[in-house]
Chains A and B, each alone.
Chain A
């Protein structure tokens, strides 16, 4: 990890991988990182809503981030991780392929999100950052949340035809 020598505005981000793409989430949003565990399927939800997990007595919904971003599903392996994010006292888990590191990113190295060119819904991406030779897409957790709560009935009905598990 880089040390905070410079006085520039450095923020820390947890970075993770979905397929070959690297993403980042501001660390102050993250409550904990846990290994993949048994998920109970919740019917009548969009396919990306994988279900709920029992996190030490609390029931927390988990989202399959790959499906959320329109990527192909993938079997869980030893690297599969659930990132528990807290926004406005609500916890939600995001299943990701692999957690990479906690990186300090200088605000100066942050660029605007592209409007197209990726297979990711760009609404969730608030910035692009350069870490060495990698490009990291910084996710706006709040947007992810809002979009999630506003799951419309149409969407549910649409996804009902997709097989649940």
Chain B
């Protein structure tokens, strides 16, 4: 983990910053784990994981004076600990409480960070539920988990009650002898002495946490707390007092260095680890008579499992990655230049052409690898969405089942961050407005009461599609049209395709509507979603069938840096049209081109009248005027419907690296960037959505 903390911070501030970062990570993980646990409450390992997280949080929260967080977490930990140690199944009705608790933890953490005085809503209720749960459990006759406890640790509670204070040294000796008897090949016996400073808690140290960590790997562990220096309860203050002397005897396969890792929060003089030589042990054992048969712990199995570590990774500054990416982009351009250079081609030497071919293969491979560096699986984002689904389901009172597909699909890292919000919005919409509110309505339609929401990610012809489907009522086209006319979004004379009609619900005019709920759903702020997806150079497709359901798909480019472009030429300049928006390109028959007086040119295609935009006119390029049937029309889908861009000719199709044009040209709406072609020339990339200055209002009575 890297921490970039200035030296001007005090040590405590540094540690606090670390704590806050860690707490954030822990809480994020808790959030995901608790939902998984809700799905499968028999997963004991998961419960253990949650417990560990909560435990760490508790110790740290108290150390930094986050008492409200500390208190809550403390009680929650008790609950978890109960189920963990009793191996009792968590009652189903309690799972909700668990999830709520994690919510509260999240909120309290925010309150603590912002130093807000009031407690989050539900804090008291939730805490009360937890406390009463513990109380009821404590009274219930539970079989004490004695066997489990003695396997790994001696019961910690009894350690606190250790009476013979002066006899600590003796007890430790005894323990060492006892453990020697248990020592096997591959296990090391350590004696650890801690002499703690008063402020050790503030540095994030926690007795119990550390013993747990040690105990996880250990075969056997015994600890002796020096209680003599701890004052009586009445005068006890956690700031000053603490258990300062701790002796630990541990039998573990870990090396001394590994054991020492547990003490990262301590100063070097505060701990002392000594390896006890097994040879000496022999003689001691003879004297010692206390040899008990101890069951082989399960720890060994667990150790085996933990040894399968995940592949090693390094964190890289994304800026460095971007630089690498830029350089590779240049490499590709340079390689293209060589491959397409006429003079080099003219050499016609086999070895040269072979070398060029090898070069292009390697370049392609490097490009692919570098691209893949930026890609991460969408799983984490989907995991977060599970939470959204659950919450929305609770809020709306709709029962539903979430299906997740394609979690492995990889997507550009820079895109992931911008995807969460739109996705949350779409999911909420799907549940709130997409699914029928009335269970009877579902039953009448022959569907199960439980609704289905499907979250899916997949590749489709060079793009990544992330879709959210519901099996609700679907979109009522008539109502949408009616609403759109009412709101003045359309005039009603347009001949719109289904997808264009569905597209209307994403128009800004729709979102401000106050009577959204009498529409067949949707429309709340979808224009915002649309805008943010378009920023990522993606688009939204809506597919819906009344009574069957709706699918909202976000079609995104594989990466933000490269697009698949169609190269067109007009007036001697080359422009790039993103292939994503191209519907078709053709040379029109003379008969289908119409000129409407004062309204420009249209081309009639399958009953649609598509406006023709002459690129040379829009861009004021000096060129010989040609007629549409002498040029090429590239039909593209835009926000405002289809348009046909008229160009002189098509040049080709290729993947291009998008480069910004610089701040001073950023205001140019019609151009979204530039790309460097194999020849070294620059071609500008068209933003087709802005190529419609005269279309609106020119529809009229077409």
Contacts and interface: CB of A to CB of B under 8 A. Distances in A.
Interface string B629-664: 000000000000000000000000000000111111
A148 interface: yes
Contacts of B681: 38, 40, 54
Interface stretch (B299-307, B474-482, B484-492, B617-625): B617-625
Contact of B663 (A40, A42, A90, A163): A90
B197 interface: no
Contact of B330 (A38, A56, A160): A56
Contacts of B674: 40, 52, 59
A22 interface: no
B682 A40 contact: yes
B230 interface: no
Contacts of A148: 664
A53 B661 CA distance: 10
Contacts of A91: 662
A92 B587 CA distance: 40
B102 interface: no
Contact of B620 (A49, A59, A160): A160
Size bin of chain A's contact surface: 20 to 34
Contacts of B660: 59
A163 to B, nearest CB: 7
A54 B680 CA distance: 7
B662 A60 contact: yes
A165 interface: yes
Contacts of B621: 43, 164
B682 A43 contact: no
A57 interface: yes
Given A59-B659, A59-B674, A164-B622, A40 B684 contact: yes
Contact of A61 (B573, B665, B670, B683): B665
Given A40-B682, A52-B682, A54-B682, A92 B330 contact: no
A145 B662 CA distance: 12
Contacts of B333: 57
B258 to A, nearest CB: 46
B682 A53 contact: yes
A59 B661 contact: yes
Q: Is the interface of B mostly helix, strand, loop or mixed?
A: mixed
A92 B662 CA distance: 8
B326 A164 contact: no
A45 interface: yes
B660 to A, nearest CB: 7
Interface in A35-71: 38, 40-45, 49, 52-54, 56-61
A61 B661 CA distance: 7
A40 B326 CA distance: 21
Interface in A107-165: 145, 148-149, 151, 160, 163-165
Contact of A42 (B329, B618, B661, B676): B661
A92 B680 CA distance: 19
Contact of A164 (B330, B620, B683): B620
B410 to A, nearest CB: 26
Contacts, number: 77
A163 B330 contact: no
A148 B329 CA distance: 29
The SS class assigned to the A binding surface is mixed
Nearest to A159: B620
A44 B326 CA distance: 28
A151 B663 CA distance: 11
B47 interface: no
Interface in B325-359: 326, 329-330, 333
Nearest to B676: A54
A42 B684 contact: yes
Contacts of A38: 681
A149 B662 CA distance: 10
Nearest to B657: A57
B667 interface: yes
A56 B621 CA distance: 27
B661 A43 contact: no
A28 B683 CA distance: 31
A40 B685 CA distance: 12
B555 to A, nearest CB: 27
Nearest to B327: A57
A42 B662 CA distance: 12
Interface string B668-681: 10110010100011
A148 to B, nearest CB: 5
A57 B329 contact: yes
B249 to A, nearest CB: 60
Contacts of A49: 664-665
Contacts of A53: 682
Nearest to B334: A57
B670 to A, nearest CB: 6
Contact of A59 (B573, B662, B667): B662
Contacts of A90: 662-664
A152 to B, nearest CB: 10
Nearest to A145: B664
Nearest to B663: A90
A2 B279 CA distance: 83
A91 B659 CA distance: 14
Nearest to B332: A57
Contacts of B680: 54
A41 B659 contact: no
Contacts of B665: 42, 45, 49, 52, 61
A46 B369 CA distance: 41
Given A59-B674, A61-B661, A43 B619 contact: yes
Given A57-B676, A151-B667, A164-B622, A40 B661 contact: no
Contacts of A151: 664, 667
A153 B256 CA distance: 71
A58 B664 contact: no
Nearest to B675: A59
B664 A43 contact: no
A84 to B, nearest CB: 12
Contacts of A149: 663-664
Contacts of B664: 49, 61, 90, 92, 145, 148-149, 151
Contacts of B326: 57
25 contacts: A40-B674, A40-B683, A43-B619, A43-B621, A43-B671, A44-B619, A44-B620, A44-B668, A44-B671, A45-B668, A49-B664, A52-B662, A52-B674, A53-B682, A57-B329, A57-B333, A58-B659, A59-B660, A59-B662, A59-B674, A59-B676, A90-B663, A151-B664, A151-B667, A164-B621
Nearest first, the 6 A-B pairs at minimum CB distance are A43-B619, A57-B330, A40-B682, A59-B674, A59-B659, A61-B662
Interface of B: 326, 329-330, 333, 573, 618-622, 659-665, 667-668, 670-671, 674, 676, 680-684
Given A43-B618, A164-B621, 17 more contacts: A38-B681, A40-B674, A42-B661, A43-B671, A44-B620, A44-B670, A52-B662, A54-B680, A57-B326, A57-B329, A59-B676, A61-B661, A61-B664, A90-B664, A149-B664, A151-B664, A160-B620
